[in-house]
Amino acid sequence: MSGPEIILEAIAVERRFVTRRPLFGAAAVVHAVNGVNLRVRRGETFAIVGESGCGKSTLARVLTRLIPASGGTVHYAGRDLGQLKPAEIRALRREVQFIFQDPFSSLNPRMTVGALIEEPLRTHGIGTRAERKARVASLLARVGLPPQSAGRYPHEFSGGQRQRVGIARALASGPTVVVGDEPVSALDVSIQAQVVNILQDLKEEFGLTLIVIAHDLAVIRHMADRVAVMYLGEIVELAPADQLFDAPRHPYTEALVAAIPLPDTGARRARARVEGELPNPIAPPSGCKFHPRCPYAVDRCATVPPELGPADAEGRQVACHRAAELRLDGLVATDTRRTPAAASRFELYRLARAAEAMPPDSSARKEGAPPPTQQGDSA
């Protein structure tokens, strides 16, 4: 029996940036992405997490051919993206779309929301003018915005609403893969749950493959199937989400998991003993790049770089010399429970979405479900 279909694959991918040459001396090279290998399965939600500056956003741009790789190859549906001609890259944009972190700066302030969402349709020659207008109205309704808002400009929307516009624009061309670069980090916590639920609903409805870049592991825990942890341009652990959060194998993953806030205000959890800041990517440490901050480091860690080993029976890969002997702390069952207030917000949002899907005169509307009125999100 064949395994899951691989829709996107990175093989030894590198991305280097050369700094501006100083007055004296030579220009430096930043290895933003260094030898990354990963496979994304069709239909899954694949998350890439890590501290700011670890290279996850750069990797996302390389995977979507927004910027070329300096080394290695990226394959989408069996095609090497580095060998595509300009016309083929243009066609790729229809199948692979990007949701940017800042919804305000990624939307042209001189264009109406309707024109922004319609632009991918016009670019790829999809539908007649009337069909495109209908598609725009349908997408706005699908992400929870009234169709009549198509004539408004981005500055007239709140932050959460602008991110919904960005999601609608990404879906306009009917993509197969959608990459979200920190899609909820700029939003209030109360709005994040709504946007996360929208992404999950749309993934199921349109059969999407989602690649989510984030540093908020609480969000990733809620929506990801598999998670890759990056540190200084390299993947240090890759595992199914449940296994990674319950029993991390890499000390850096343990530190990230320990930073997730507990839902119980009276609860306390021992923090992973990680000190210091992310090293300078221009002059990274020798051996394991995490060893200067790792509480479990031994002499070998300072000299020999660990390799991301083959997947075990659980599908987990770890780049750590001591992975087999360390017993690291993960989330306990009580850590992942939603508070009553959070559970209430998610349930209210679910009922509102169900009510919006019913005809206005439907007698099947459940008692207590809020009417499908549009409320603005806070920025």
Tell me the CB-side half-sphere exposure of residue 79, using CA atoms within 13 A: 14
Print burial letters for 266-291: b (CB count within 10 Å at least 16), e (below 16): eeebeebebeeebbebeebbebbbbb
DSSP for 92-118, written as a single string: HHHHEEEE-S-TTTTS-TTS-HHHHHH
By mean pLDDT, which of 112-116, 139-143, 192-196 is the weakest? 192-196
Tokens of 229: 């942890």
CA 98, CA 120: separation in Å to the nearest integer? Answer: 12
* Domain-located, residue 287: no
Would you place residue 361 in the very low, low, confident or very high pLDDT band (cuts 50, 70, 90)?
A: low
Q: How far is CA 87 from CA 3, 66, 84, 312, 363, in A?
A: 32, 14, 8, 40, 51
Residue 160 has pLDDT above 60, yes or no: yes
**Do 288 and 305 form a contact (C-beta atoms < 8 A)?**
yes
Q: Which two tokens stand for residue 12?
A: 């030894």
Find all residues with CB under 8 Å of 339, minimum gap 6, and list them: 263, 264
- Cβ(276)–Cβ(343) under 8 Å? no
3-state secondary structure 11-54: EEEEEEEECCCCCCCCCCEEEEEEEEEEEEECCCEEEEECCCCC
Q: Residue 162 domain-assigned? A: yes
CB count within 10 Å of CB 187 equals 23
- Looking at residue 336, its pLDDT comes to 45
Q: Are 17 and 29 in contact (CB under 8 A)?
A: yes
Closest CA to 98 of 42, 44, 176, 170: 170
Q: Using the predicted structure, report yes or no on whether residue 1 has a pLDDT greater than 60.
A: no
What is the number of structural domains in the chain?
A: 1
Question: Would the pLDDT of 151 be above 90?
Answer: yes
- Beta strands 226-231 and 45-49: pairing type? parallel
In this structure, is residue 16 part of a structural domain? Answer: yes
Residue 140 lies in a domain: yes
Cα–Cα dist 140/322, whole Å: 50
145 lies in which domain range? 6-231
* Residue 50 pLDDT greater than 80, yes or no: yes
With respect to residue 335, please indicate whether it lies within any of the assigned structural domains.
no
Question: Is 29 within a domain?
Answer: yes
Query: Residue 288 above 80 pLDDT?
Result: yes
Contact 350, 335 (CB under 8 A): no
Answer yes or no: is 223 within a domain: yes
Single-letter code of the amino acid located at 320: C
The amino acid sitting at 164 is: R
d(CA 179, CA 60) in angstroms, rounded, equals 7
Strand 71-76 and strand 79-80: the pairing is antiparallel
Band of pLDDT at residue 344, cut at 50, 70 and 90? low
Average pLDDT for 33-50: 94
Predicted pLDDT at 379: 43
Domain assignment of residue 308, yes or no: no
Domain at 119, CATH number: 3.40.50.300
Which of 9-18, 66-75, 198-207 shows the lowest per-residue confidence on average (mean pLDDT)? 198-207
Which residue has tokens 């349908």?
Answer: 138
pLDDT tens sequence across 251-285: 999 999 888 876 655 555 555 667 778 888 888 89
Looking up tokens 């300009």 gives 86
> Which pLDDT tens digit goes with each residue over 69-121?
999 999 999 999 999 999 999 999 999 999 988 878 889 999 999 999 999 99
**Which tokens is 367 given?**
């008692």
Q: What is the rounded CA–CA span in Å between residue 81 and residue 177? A: 14
Strand runs labelled E in 139-208: 177-181
